[in-house]
Amino acid sequence: MMILEQGYNAQIPMLQPCHDDVSTIPDVRFRNLLGPHGWALLPKAIRKRFGKRLKGGDSVAYQGVVTKMQMNRAGWVLAQLARLVGAPLPYDRTSINRPAVVVVTEDVVTNGQFWVRQYGRAKGFPQTVHSSKRFAGETGLEEYIGYGIGMALRVEAVAHALLFKSDHFFLQIAGRRFRLPRFLSPGALVIGHHDLGEGRFAFTLSLKNRVFGEMIAQDAVFHDAKE
């Protein structure tokens, strides 16, 4: 996924962590998924962000701005339909150049993480996306959006970036789990964390379908929260 530097130099105010006394401990969960070689490929800044674990349900927040928001017609329809199950996909083109906030909270119950993403819009309340990352399943990492819907993720380290790639989607109903066949899945989802240096990083999302092409593409740039 190509990252364009245009628009990434905007002055973005830093947001303090949610608690003044946020405490962390070393976190080896992502390092174990990547292996020693993959982990070593990542820039030091990315290793730092994904190598610290918040204690006791603490949260850390990052503030930034949306720099790209594109949808083709099929992507727009899919994003609107997804609003019926919590709006896990960005659905408003007016979010470009609007504020974005990401809050990560340690989930002490499942040994995972809660992620809340907020994107400003031209009108109305910001879009808020909730998900839960759990270190479980065939690939070792899964993301749940609620309503029994989730996807298994594979992590990959490349130059200056950590990528999360969808492996398959699934439904959990009445305690049973059903893996969706590929023809029922929305497409291949790739989420990237790209280090930009100077305490900045880009969050990118791309959803591509073999029939409809790239349906949704979103980029946002954030600053590290102050320690």
pLDDT at 114: 96
Phi/psi of residue 66, nearest 5 degrees: -75, 125
Angle, CA of 52, 198 and 216, to the nearest 5°? 80
pLDDT at 47: 96
pLDDT at 22: 52
Note whether 148 and 173 are within 8 A (CB): yes
Note whether 74 and 215 are within 8 A (CB): yes
pLDDT in tens, 154-210: 999 998 999 999 999 999 998 899 999 999 999 999 999 999 999 999 999 999 999
Q: Residue 208's closest CA among 199, 200, 216?
A: 216
Distances (CA, A) of 214 to 60, 76, 96, 189, 220: 31, 11, 18, 10, 17
Distance CA 105, CA 116 (A): 8
Tokens of 220: 């946002």
What are residue 195's DSSP bridge partners? 201
Helix (H), strand (E) at residue 150: strand 149-158
What are residue 202's DSSP bridge partners? 194, 221
pLDDT at 101: 97
SS3 202: strand
pLDDT at 222: 98
pLDDT at 55: 85
pLDDT at 227: 57
The alpha helices in 11-83, defined as continuous H runs, are 29-41, 44-50, 73-82
pLDDT at 225: 79
Distance CA 95, CA 21 (A): 32
pLDDT at 188: 97
pLDDT at 11: 45
Q: Residue 64's closest CA among 90, 6, 103, 21?
A: 103
pLDDT at 20: 42
Which regions of the chain are under pLDDT 70? 1-23, 227
Note whether 145 and 186 are within 8 A (CB): no
